[in-house]
Structure 1
């Protein structure tokens, strides 16, 4: 099992390029970056984690800008959209943005997507929360068409465009790996339908076990699974290994430069010790 780092990259924390270099230098293989375009002031939708919405949600840098900065500052680090709120973005733009990140990173983009949880946020983008699952499915299909064909076209209920030319194409063939966030039967179906992987939150081991089994049985293949936001708990890491999870992205609190580097040193030491057995 490989180890990465997941964190909210904010305007009051360590800058993305220096963070990415520090993550790579300490032996981690990936950097997972979430996104929120904004947080509606109404705060009607409850935070899934319970309680008040953590302050880090309010100050996130743009995801693709962050991933680009991380990519050009490193040589081997995977840059992971974790997750991209595709239901709030135009798929033609996203196809170009992701292909561009894959190009400048020389094929190191992992594209995690999800249907989102903040209903007011998606409504602000013109997305009906009741259709967000169907919108996500069509936008993924449309993006894959743009990535892999030229001219590309797509005709669905929520996404519809006649033949277009779009460059660049991704470096990775046939396209960057796609991982789906969520924890539902719809998530299982989506992973199976689109041939992707699962990008999971650190759910209880029992939930992870059930979902992974359903995905792998339904897909008839070894569905890749990464978990992000992982705690520094070696018992949990061992359980992940037992489930065949490919990557655990440890949660790094958003802190200024010096504190972030010290935390990364601590994490790297613990991971090295764990890997030595």
Structure 2
């Protein structure tokens, strides 16, 4: 059974994603406030409601557990809300817009803990959740979570299989090299059947292939080389094809950090920099290369983290971007 379509929305071209299409193709989402001065209860509620009102397809969060001393991860990673709790607050103030994590580092908690949290959010949101997961890359976070850094790839693949088993089997029973679930009933089950869509983050070819082979799609990072995106999308689709999955149903999500300007940016501009028309053109160009979803994420925008920026100023910037780049009505 296909994932449930949130009430009052429509599919674009991607199974499991509703509304927010750009030129009838790419679904357009928004990064929920989780980092910086706008990451407040009022900010989360405001952006969630405004994105739904404007017809965006989805709201997305990301995870950062800590910022190691002596390592500069950038201001967008200095203070980050828990991604699932932030989505839960947004879910309570909305009824239609999709909800997703891009991403949570799955190995930092046992599969049973993540399966329960995500099933609960899928129930509370009435089937609006997409579970974006990665295996993480920061050794300090692995150390703080008490998880060995070695054999990350093998651990993550087993994690994905265990997660799906917890959502789809009753009773569930799982025995692997890293995780064990004794025979048990696990409830409640997610609303979506057979389970909420799972998207996998990563940049290496093995990670791209894994996303198509074991999940419903792939999440590209804000720093991903968009010049090679078509080739990388093909690797994801190859993984799906080799696993006997429907290649046309593969989802490809890209995080975009917009730099909205009143006048057109010049020929040396970076992607998503310039007027709203230029930003929309960049989104459409990604669609031509196989990307199915893009979300505009101000959490990593330098303007939001400039010294002295107050929460109300950050939200005013967010409103400007959301309104200027909103998907076409209807």
> Quick check: TM above 0.5?
yes
Among 80, 89, 94, the alignment partner of 2:114 is 94
Deviations 1:141-192 (A, max 9, x none): 1111110111111111011121122111100000000001011122122123
Deviations 1:223-246 (A, max 9, x none): 210111343334422311212322
Alignment-derived partner of residue 127 in structure 1: 147
How far apart are residue 256 of structure 1 and its match? 5.0
How far apart are residue 126 of structure 1 and its match? 1.9
TM-score, scaled to structure 2? 0.75
Q: Which has the higher helix share?
A: 1
Deviations 1:189-243 (A, max 9, x none): 2123214201112423332111111222342212210111343334422311212
Alignment-derived partner of residue 36 in structure 1: 64
How far apart are residue 12 of structure 1 and its match? 4.2
Aligned structure 1 segments of 4 or more residues deviating by more than 6 angstroms: none
Among 251, 257, 268, the alignment partner of 2:297 is 251
Q: CA RMSD in A?
A: 2.1
Cα pair distance change 1:93/1:115, threshold 3 Å: same
1:60-209 matches, within 5 Å, as 60-202=80-222, 203-209=224-230
Alignment-derived partner of residue 319 in structure 2: 265
Equivalent-residue separation in structure 1 for 2:36 and 2:113 (angstroms): 24
Among 47, 53, 71, the alignment partner of 1:25 is 53
- Does residue 216 in structure 1 map to residue 270 in structure 2? no
Equivalent-residue separation in structure 2 for 1:143 and 1:218 (angstroms): 19
Equivalent-residue separation in structure 2 for 1:29 and 1:256 (angstroms): 28
| 3-state secondary structure, aligned to 1:130 | coil
Gaps of 5+ in 2: 1-25, 242-246, 259-271, 273-278
Higher mean displacement: 75-84 or 221-230: 221-230
Q: How many residues align?
A: 267
How far apart are residue 71 of structure 1 and its match? 0.8
Gaps of 5+ in 1: 44-51
